[in-house]
Amino acid sequence: MPVPAPANDPAIQRVLEAAARKGVTLDVVVFDASTHTAEEAAAAVGAELGQIVKSLVFVARDESGTPAPLLCLVAGPNRVDVARLAAVTGQPDVRRATAREARELTGFTIGGIPPIGHRQAIRVIMDPDLGRFQVVWAAAGTGTAVFPVPPATLRILANAVVAPITEERPAPTDGEAESGFATPSAQRAGV
C-alpha cells in the first residue's frame, strides 16, 4: 500500500530537484514495503515486470585508468551484456560496480538508485525495451519509493543514450511467459 511520501527525505528530494531543474514534476509514490527488486516494484505498482526500470551502475576505466561510472537503465526482466555495454560506450574495460562503489558514485544505495539526482555527472545508457511502454516506473532514491514516467521523458531527464546493451533473450517455450526467462535470484541481483 502506498504511504505519504516523506517530504523531507533527502534522497527523494534530490530526485525531485533534479527533475524540476529540467521542468518536470514527478509523482513519487512511497510504499511501506520494499520495492528493492524488479518483482517487488512491479507487484507494488501493479505493472508488468518490463515496466520497471533497473538502474544498474557499472565502472569503466578511461585512458588514464581513472574509474568512470556508467548507469544502465534496464527493463525489469533484462540483463546487461557487459560486452555490448563495452562496445556501445567504447570502453573496453567495463565491470559491474560493487555496492560500495555504486553508493559512492551515485549517492544512493542499491535498490533505490534513481536514474537522476546523482552526486556527479554519470554517463547513462538506456535499454530500448523500455520504449515499448507508455509509462515505466523508476526508483526515486530509496528502496520503497518509485515514480512513473514516460520512457521519452526518462531519456531526457537522465540525458540517456538509447542503445542495445542487454543480453539476447531466448524465445519463450510453449507455456512460458515472455518475462519468465530470468530467475528471481538473478532479478534480485539486478543483473
Residue 92 falls inside a structural domain: yes
Radius of gyration of the chain (CA): 16
Mean pLDDT, the chain, rounded, equals 86
Which of the two residues, 41 and 171, has the higher pLDDT score? 41
**Structurally, how many domains does the chain consist of?**
1
102: domain CATH number?
3.90.960.10
pLDDT band at 6 (very low <50, low <70, confident <90, very high): low
Query: pLDDT digits over 67-118, tens only?
Result: 889 999 999 999 999 999 999 999 888 999 999 999 999 999 999 999 999 9
Output the nine-digit C-alpha cell for 146.
518509485
Distance CA 94, CA 87 (A): 10
pLDDT of residue 179: 39
Strand partners, 53: 75, 138
Please state the pTM of the whole predicted model: 0.85
Per-residue pLDDT for 35 more than 60? Answer: yes
Distance CA 118, CA 141 (A): 9
- List Cβ neighbours of 140 (8 Å cut-off, separation of 6 or more): 11, 12, 15, 16, 26, 28, 29, 30, 112, 114, 146, 147
Residue 183: domain span? 2-167+177-188
Per-residue pLDDT for 180 more than 50? Answer: no
pLDDT band at 150 (very low <50, low <70, confident <90, very high): very high
Percent of the chain with pLDDT over 70: 84
Report residue 70 CA to chain centroid gap.
Answer: 11
Per-residue pLDDT for 168 more than 70? Answer: yes
Considering only 45-54, 97-106, 164-173, which range has the smallest mean pLDDT?
164-173
Diameter over CA atoms, the chain: 51
pLDDT band at 190 (very low <50, low <70, confident <90, very high): very low
Output the nine-digit C-alpha cell for 92.
573496453
Residue 94 falls inside a structural domain: yes
Residue 172 falls inside a structural domain: no
